[in-house]
Amino acid sequence: MRIILFGPPGSGKGTQGDLIASRYGYPKISTGDLLRRAVQEKTAFGKKAEVLMNQGKLVSDDIVEGLVRERIASPDARSGYLLDGFPRNLAQVHILEAMDGGRPEVAIEVDVDSRILTERMQNRLTCRSCGAIVNPNLKKPRVEGRCGICGGELYQRPDDRPEVIAERFKVYKEQSEKIKAYYKAKSVYRRVDGSGSVEQVFARISEILEREQAGREADQRQR
Ligand code: ADP
């Protein structure tokens, strides 16, 4: 299945994406993670992207397109994938549609109140090595400052500072309505309540995916 996960900054789509990937076996393709890796590796793309990311602005569509195109073409993405953070504007919606195997079967919006989000983001730390997200207020890492999964260094993303968070929200608000309208018109839009625990949100998402899967199997049997 080809799944898109979108939602405001801090809505937990990265965490949910990891859970979906491990339960259903689809690779998670996160443009945020791919960009942060490019920044860390100081590639030409990375250097260009870093300035914009640290201001909470979107990186240019062609940079992101290149990253996604390459990743979607990998053999492990042939039977499906999960996109996290892409498409992020209407132009990217069309870029994705034009890619081979790019039409999503389901586009899930993780919807969370913006007051909850700001608080979550100011407190979260990200692993420099594997990209895992940790909120030390909710779950203390076993070793302080170190990722519980891979032992990598935990850091605060430069774009998780309050003034940048505000800009990221603004950008999200401007773009997401159009994305939502587009996927609604294609009947693939699904909304998920993103409040509550990670497990509660995952249960809601799983229900949608399993219903979707059952529907697809029934369709195939009828053919
Ligand atoms: P969040 O969803 O929490 O804001 P991400 O990790 O998805 O965080 O993205 C971080 C930053 O990376 C964005 O603010 C933006 O600058 C850049 N970025 C990620 N995905 C895209 C995209 N599809 N198009 C343009 N810029 C992107």
Task: Give tens-digit pLDDT for 34-65.
Answer: 999 999 999 988 999 999 999 999 999 999 99
pTM over the 0.85 mark: yes
At residue 107 the predicted structure's pLDDT band, cuts being 50, 70 and 90, is: very high
3 state SS of 146: strand
Two tokens at 68?
Answer: 């996604």
- Does residue 197 carry a pLDDT above 80? yes
At residue 209 the predicted structure's pLDDT band, cuts being 50, 70 and 90, is: very high
Q: Where are the beta strands (DSSP E) in the chain?
A: 2-6, 28-30, 81-84, 106-111, 125-127, 133-134, 154-155, 189-193
Instruction: Calculate the average pLDDT of the chain.
Output: 92
- Does residue 138 carry a pLDDT above 80? no
Please answer whether residues 10 and 201 qualify as being in contact, where contact means their C-beta atoms are separated by less than 8 angstroms. Answer: no
Q: What's the rounded mean pLDDT across residues 109-123?
A: 87
Q: Compute the distance between CA of residue 118 and CA of residue 10 in angstroms, rounded to an integer.
A: 7
Q: Ligand 1, from 88, 127, 133: best to mutate by most atoms within 8 Å of Cβ? A: 88
For residues 172, 174, 177, 182, the Cα torsion angle rounded to the nearest 10 degrees is -100
User: Of residues 28, 120, 124, 190, which has the active-site annotation?
Assistant: 124
Q: Compute the distance between CA of residue 93 and CA of residue 80 in angstroms, rounded to an integer.
A: 17
At residue 162 the predicted structure's pLDDT band, cuts being 50, 70 and 90, is: confident
For residues 40, 34, 77, 192, the Cα torsion angle rounded to the nearest 10 degrees is 140
Q: Compute the distance between CA of residue 175 and CA of residue 155 in angstroms, rounded to an integer.
A: 28
CA–centroid distance, 59 to ligand 1, in Å, is: 7
Instruction: Report which of residues 119 and 76 the model is more confident about.
Output: 76
Q: Ligand 1, from 35, 57, 71, 110: best to mutate by most atoms within 8 Å of Cβ? A: 35
Q: What's the rounded mean pLDDT across residues 95-104?
A: 87
User: Of residues 157, 180, 186, 204, which has the active-site annotation?
Assistant: 157
Instruction: Report which of residues 25 and 103 the model is more confident about.
Output: 25
CA–centroid distance, 196 to ligand 1, in Å, is: 24
Query: Could you give phi then psi for residue 103, rounded to 5 degrees?
Result: -80, 120
> Pocket residues for ligand 1 (CB within 6 Å)?
9-10, 31-32, 35, 52-53, 56-59, 64, 85-86, 88, 92, 159, 168
Q: What's the rounded mean pLDDT across residues 103-111?
A: 94
Q: Give the pLDDT score at 147.
A: 93
Q: Give the pLDDT score at 5.
A: 97
Please answer whether residues 9 and 114 qualify as being in contact, where contact means their C-beta atoms are separated by less than 8 angstroms. Answer: no
At residue 103 the predicted structure's pLDDT band, cuts being 50, 70 and 90, is: confident
- Does residue 116 carry a pLDDT above 90? no
